[in-house]
Each structure stands twice: as structure tokens, then as C-alpha cells.
């Protein structure tokens, strides 16, 4: 029952956001194009490199495109549903506007994260999806319903992990009021998730694998779902690994956020 209530709450916020977006149509168009173009840049990189080589770390062109597409789906979902909310959270903590959320009846993390929905991000999810479908078609993949369901679940795990990483980064604002370079650090991290896991092997005496594959969940987020689709089957170890990482990072984000909350002392205006 409670879940339904939250869903209704979210729906109301979403409806409001979309109405607002439609008031500024030109802006909507421009920002939609911005995201589209940045995806185009990544696709261009893949197509140009594969003009000169057949395989990167054992991945052929369309497998790579599928990987890049999967990582883009996660990123666009994050942009559509959470990004601007979390980005503003940092600013609100600094300015004291955060009080407004504290006064709302409801789970604080939910209220803070779901106030706005960015329509252009959500629409671009379909573009990213189209890239994945195109790549899958070129690879002659015929995933069954179970594979697609697992792929969707893994993408969702990826979204939770990205969400948690950003909540963690924003929560730093509770301790040090000035937190710069948040955007930069997120986009730098997502760059790592567009690379195949095998490419990290043995680099910098294994440090690259250790940091980006095992310590930070940036590589597993995109590689595990892409592999599920390519092999039309699930590697149980990888799936459990991703699930564990999801639970772990989300729990960490919840804990750190609430720890930080205790330090919040509002701001005089």
C-alpha cells in the first residue's frame, strides 16, 4: 500500500516536470540534442577505431557497440530520473534550501531524489536502446525472453549503482561545504564503463583491474549485462557479483547519506 502511495507521489512529480518541460520546448529540444550528440561522439569513436582493427580485447565492433550502448542506457536512465535532483541536492545543502525537504512527510532520500524528471534523458534512453538492438541485430543475437529479462534486471542494478555513487559523492557536501568537480568525476568514471573488462588485464601491474574492475563497480556495471546479451545466457558468478555490488553500494550510500544528515545544521539566510 505504501509503495503505491510513493508511486502516486512520483507520478505527480513526473507529470509536473513534463508540463514544465513542455512550457520550454526550445530548451527541451536543445538538451535532447546535446545528449544525442554526446552519444554520437561515442559511437563515432567505436566506428573509427574498428576501421583500423578487428578486435579490442577480444570484442568485435558490434559487441563493443552493444557494450557502449548498454553503458549509455544506464547513464541516460540516471540523467532522466535522478541527475538534476542529486545535483541540486548539493546546492540545497549549501544554501539551506534542504530544509524544505526535511519538512516533507515521506522517506527523505526518496523525496530528494525524485522531485524532477528530465524528459529528454528518458527519450534518449530509447536512442541508446536502439543502438543496443541494432548491434544485437548485426551480431545475429536471438535472446529469449529470460535473457532479456535478466539483461533488464542487470541494467537496473547498474542504475542503482550509479545512483549510489552519486549520492555518496553529493553526501560529501554535508562535511565539506564546497564540493567541486562532482560532474567531472562522474563523467570520468563513466568513461571507464565503456571499456571491455578484458582490456584492463595486466595493466599497471594489475592495479587497473584492481581499482576499476574490483574496487569500483564501474566496469562490471556495463560488462555484465552486455555479456548476458552476447552469450544469450547468464554467468552466475558475474550476476551474483553485480547483485552483491548493487546491494553493497546502495547500503553504503544510505548509511553515508544519513550520517551526513546528522551534521546538517541548515543555513542562515
How is residue 45 written as a grid cell?
Answer: 569513436
If binding is defined by CB under 8 A, does position 41 make contact with another protein? yes
Alpha carbons within 13 angstroms on the beta-carbon side of residue 13 total 18
**Cβ of residue 23: shortest distance to another protein, in angstroms?**
14
Q: Which of 15, 16, 22, 38 binds another protein (CB under 8 A)?
A: 38
If binding is defined by CB under 8 A, does position 34 make contact with another protein? yes
**Cβ of residue 33: shortest distance to another protein, in angstroms?**
6
Q: Which of 11, 12, 22, 45 binds another protein (CB under 8 A)?
A: 45
In order of 158, 183, 197, the CA distances from 254 in angstroms are: 17, 20, 28
* Interior/surface letters 111-129, b for 16+ CB within 10 angstroms, e for the rest: bbbbbbbbbbbbebbebbb
Instruction: Give the whole-angstrom CA distance, residue 114 versus residue 84.
Output: 9
Please report, in angstroms and rounded to a whole number, the separation of the first and last CA atoms in the chain. 39
Cβ proximity to another protein: between 15 and 20 the closer is: 20
The interface region with another protein, picked from 41-49, 98-106, 135-143, 169-177 by CB under 8 A, is 41-49
Q: Which H or E run contains 154?
A: helix 145-175
Using CB under 8 A as the binding rule, the residues of this chain from 167 to 206 that contact another protein are: 180-181, 184-185, 188, 191-192, 195-196, 198-200, 203
**Cβ of residue 40: shortest distance to another protein, in angstroms?**
7
The interface region with another protein, picked from 3-11, 30-38, 141-149, 151-159 by CB under 8 A, is 30-38
How is residue 161 written as a grid cell?
Answer: 549503482
Cβ proximity to another protein: between 119 and 133 the closer is: 119
Using CB under 8 A as the binding rule, the residues of this chain from 207 to 226 that contact another protein are: 208
Instruction: Give the whole-angstrom CA distance, residue 92 versus residue 81.
Output: 18
Instruction: Give the whole-angstrom CA distance, residue 86 versus residue 55.
Output: 38
Site map for another protein, 47-76, x if CB under 8 A?
Answer: -xx-xxx--xx-------------------
Instruction: Give the whole-angstrom CA distance, residue 208 versus residue 32.
Output: 34
- Asked if 63 and 56 count as a contact pair (C-beta separation under 8 A), the reply is no
If binding is defined by CB under 8 A, does position 79 make contact with another protein? no
**Cβ of residue 156: shortest distance to another protein, in angstroms?**
25
* Interacting residues with another protein (CB under 8 A): 27, 30-31, 33-34, 37-38, 40-41, 44-45, 48-49, 51-53, 56-57, 180-181, 184-185, 188, 191-192, 195-196, 198-200, 203, 208
Amino acid at each position: 500500500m505504501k509503495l503505491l502511495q510513493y508511486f502516486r507521489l512520483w507520478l505527480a512529480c513526473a507529470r509536473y516536470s513534463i508540463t514544465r518541460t513542455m512550457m520550454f520546448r526550445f530548451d527541451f529540444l536543445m538538451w535532447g540534442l546535446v545528449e544525442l550528440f554526446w552519444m554520437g561522439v561515442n559511437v563515432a569513436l567505436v566506428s573509427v577505431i574498428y576501421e583500423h582493427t578487428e578486435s579490442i580485447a577480444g570484442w568485435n565492433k558490434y559487441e563493443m557497440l552493444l557494450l557502449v550502448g548498454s553503458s549509455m542506457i544506464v547513464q541516460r536512465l540516471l540523467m532522466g530520473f535522478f541527475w538534476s535532483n542529486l545535483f541540486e541536492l548539493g546546492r540545497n545543502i549549501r544554501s539551506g534550501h534542504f530544509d524544505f525537504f526535511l519538512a516533507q512527510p515521506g522517506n527523505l532520500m526518496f523525496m530528494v531524489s525524485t522531485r524532477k524528471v528530465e524528459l529528454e534523458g528518458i527519450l534518449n534512453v530509447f536512442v541508446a536502446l536502439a543502438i543496443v538492438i541494432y548491434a544485437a541485430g548485426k551480431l545475429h543475437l536471438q535472446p529469449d525472453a529470460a535473457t532479456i529479462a535478466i539483461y533488464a534486471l542487470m541494467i537496473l542494478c547498474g542504475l542503482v549503482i550509479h545512483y549510489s555513487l552519486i549520492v555518496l559523492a553529493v553526501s560529501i557536501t554535508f562535511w565539506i561545504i564546497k564540493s567541486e568537480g562532482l560532474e567531472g568525476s562522474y563523467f570520468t568514471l563513466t568513461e571507464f564503463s565503456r571499456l571491455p573488462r578484458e582490456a584492463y588485464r595486466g595493466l599497471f601491474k594489475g592495479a587497473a583491474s584492481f581499482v576499476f574492475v574490483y574496487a569500483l563497480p564501474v566496469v562490471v556495471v556495463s560488462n555484465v549485462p552486455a555479456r548476458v546479451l552476447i552469450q544469450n545466457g547468464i554467468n552466475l558468478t558475474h550476476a551474483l557479483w553485480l547483485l552483491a555490488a548493487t546491494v553493497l553500494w546502495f547500503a553504503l550510500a544510505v548509511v553515508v547519506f544519513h550520517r551526513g544528515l546528522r551534521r546538517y545544521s541548515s543555513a542562515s539566510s
